[in-house]
Amino acid sequence: MANILLGWELGRALGHAGRLKSLALPLLARGHDVSFALRDLVHTQRQLAGIDAPKFQAPFWQHRVNGLPKGEASLADILLACGWIDAGAVNGLVDGWRALLQVTQAELVVCDYAPTAVLAARSLGIPSAAVGAGFTMPPALTALPPLRDWEPAQGERMAAGEARVLDSANAVLARYAAPPLARASGLLLGDAPLLCTFPELDPWRRPPDSVRWYGPNVPPSAGAADPQWPAGAGARVFAYLNAPHAEHAAMLQALGAAGCRTLCYAPEVAAGARPPVVGLNIAWARAPVDLAQALPACEFVVCHAGESTVSQALLAGRPLLLMPQAAESFLTARRVREMGAGINIGELAWPLDWAAIVRSLLDGGAYRQAAQAFAKRHAGFDARRQAETLADALEVLALKSA
């Protein structure tokens, strides 16, 4: 049996922890020793309740990098803003990850958007596997792709940013006499990239036959609360609002004005923050909601285009109202809009006509038909079998290192 560390470093959505949970369960059932290193130890408590495994605070960048150009051109710019502009800063984070790997006696590191964990594992000669949806798993044999492909190409800037990240990484590896990386994408892919999404949601538009698609990680609903919908006869809408947004109040008011019965889960509100809207037939969940029950019962889903929530909504045949707040979520929302299964407000003219947006989702059968077509294409997907398949792949890696 192996000691396996599951790490999450970058990104704020709870889907990262959910993905690691879905992997931890079959690994624990097979007798492996599993531990977590999590960016967020607070909002994940209920999500990971019942999993008997140590949970550590993951080392991650907590400072501001000044002087970077506005608007990320590629994933390299995201890493630069997370300290990768300076090898000394990266080394400090690597020291933290190395200590975790040594304390847990890790023989395999499973990294969910955790490039510094990949680097630390490489510095110690420990194999790493990367798991994640398309955005955090760029194509392996090319330069990092542009995040804003609708804008003029920024080839020089992208090349310079990627070179800076790679230089920082290799400077740290040289300190430990570890083999250098040939490409910056290796920081996000590790030794074994396991792509956990569907081709239709891949922001990099890889050909369907070019990689293995494992499908999304859907953690079991154990510990999640039953959905408690507002009373009445209006259409049910489920909203997962995982970060503040200037349009939350206007959106919720439009749902109320349209007679919808809205069930919202927002981690900040569940932790005691004031809701952006009170009343208007809106119920605020005090804990994560069981999506297996909530999604089939609603008319459509509102979220910030996190891949996990989007995948689960589409597998349930439910269209989406998407409010992206970052490049990752915008690219996911654009893919949903392209297949006709939802509305991406990031592509609409402002100011937004929320009444028309809500009405188009309530009346627009085409959105539901597109979502149901997606569900039909992937009707054979089984989240438990997917998790077992990934566990098989991780066991092979762990055995190679033994």
pLDDT digits (tens, 9 = 90+) for 304-363: 998 889 999 999 999 999 999 988 899 999 999 999 999 999 999 999 999 999 999 999
Predicted local distance difference test score (pLDDT) of residue 46: 81
286 with 362, same domain: the answer is yes
**Residue 146's beta-bridge partner residues?**
74
CA Rg, the chain, in Å? 21
Predicted local distance difference test score (pLDDT) of residue 14: 81
Q: Residue 144: helix, strand or coil by DSSP?
A: coil
339 with 264, same domain: the answer is yes
256 with 181, same domain: the answer is no
96 within some domain: yes
319 with 270, same domain: the answer is yes
Residues 6+ apart with CB under 8 A from 127: 107, 108, 109, 121, 190, 191, 192, 397, 398, 400, 401
64 with 207, same domain: the answer is yes
226 within some domain: no
Predicted local distance difference test score (pLDDT) of residue 7: 98
**Distance, CA of 117 to chain centre:** 17
Q: How confident is the model at residue 364 (pLDDT cuts 50, 70, 90)?
A: confident
Mean pLDDT for the stretch of residues 287-306: 95
| Domain residue limits at 247 | 236-377
Mean pLDDT for the stretch of residues 196-206: 95
228 within some domain: no
167 with 28, same domain: the answer is yes
220 within some domain: no
Q: Residue 287: helix, strand or coil by DSSP?
A: coil
263 with 319, same domain: the answer is yes
Is the four-CA dihedral 317, 47, 235, 332 of positive or negative sign?
negative
Q: What CATH number does residue 17 fall under? A: 3.40.50.2000
132 within some domain: yes
Residue 349's CB is within 10 A of a number of other CB atoms, namely: 6
Predicted local distance difference test score (pLDDT) of residue 402: 62
Asked if residue 142 has pLDDT above 90, the reply is: no
Predicted local distance difference test score (pLDDT) of residue 40: 94
394 with 250, same domain: the answer is no
How high is the mean pLDDT of the chain? 94
Q: Do 135 and 123 touch, CB atoms closer than 8 A? A: no
Predicted local distance difference test score (pLDDT) of residue 43: 84
Q: Do 321 and 141 touch, CB atoms closer than 8 A? A: no
Confidence (pTM)? 0.89
223 within some domain: no
Bond prior to 276 in cis (omega within 30° of 0): no
Q: Do 359 and 373 touch, CB atoms closer than 8 A? A: no
Q: Do 172 and 123 touch, CB atoms closer than 8 A? A: yes
Q: How confident is the model at residue 280 (pLDDT cuts 50, 70, 90)?
A: confident
Predicted local distance difference test score (pLDDT) of residue 172: 97
114 within some domain: yes
Tens digits of residue pLDDT in 9-50: 998 888 899 899 999 999 999 999 999 999 999 988 888 888
Predicted local distance difference test score (pLDDT) of residue 301: 98
Q: Do 231 and 294 touch, CB atoms closer than 8 A? A: no
204 with 287, same domain: the answer is no
Tens digits of residue pLDDT in 229-251: 999 999 999 999 987 899 999 99
Residues 6+ apart with CB under 8 A from 175: 91, 123
Predicted local distance difference test score (pLDDT) of residue 213: 96
32 within some domain: yes
**Residue 289's beta-bridge partner residues?**
225
Reading the block at residue 234, the tokens are: 């209006």
Mean pLDDT for the stretch of residues 110-115: 98
Q: What is the DSSP string of 121-190?
A: HHHHT--EEEEE-GGGS--TTSPPPBS-TTS---HHHHHHHHHHHHHHHHHHHHHTTPPPPSSTTHHHHB
**Helix, strand, coil content of the chain in percent (nearest 5):** 40, 15, 45
Mean pLDDT for the stretch of residues 71-95: 94
Domain count for the chain, please give it.
Answer: 2
40 with 102, same domain: the answer is yes
Predicted local distance difference test score (pLDDT) of residue 150: 81
Comparing 70 with 182, which gets the higher pLDDT? 182
- The pLDDT > 90 percentage for the chain reads 81
Q: How confident is the model at residue 279 (pLDDT cuts 50, 70, 90)?
A: confident
Predicted local distance difference test score (pLDDT) of residue 153: 78
245 with 177, same domain: the answer is no
Predicted local distance difference test score (pLDDT) of residue 223: 67
13 with 162, same domain: the answer is yes
Q: Residue 236: helix, strand or coil by DSSP?
A: strand
Reading the block at residue 193, the tokens are: 């990239």
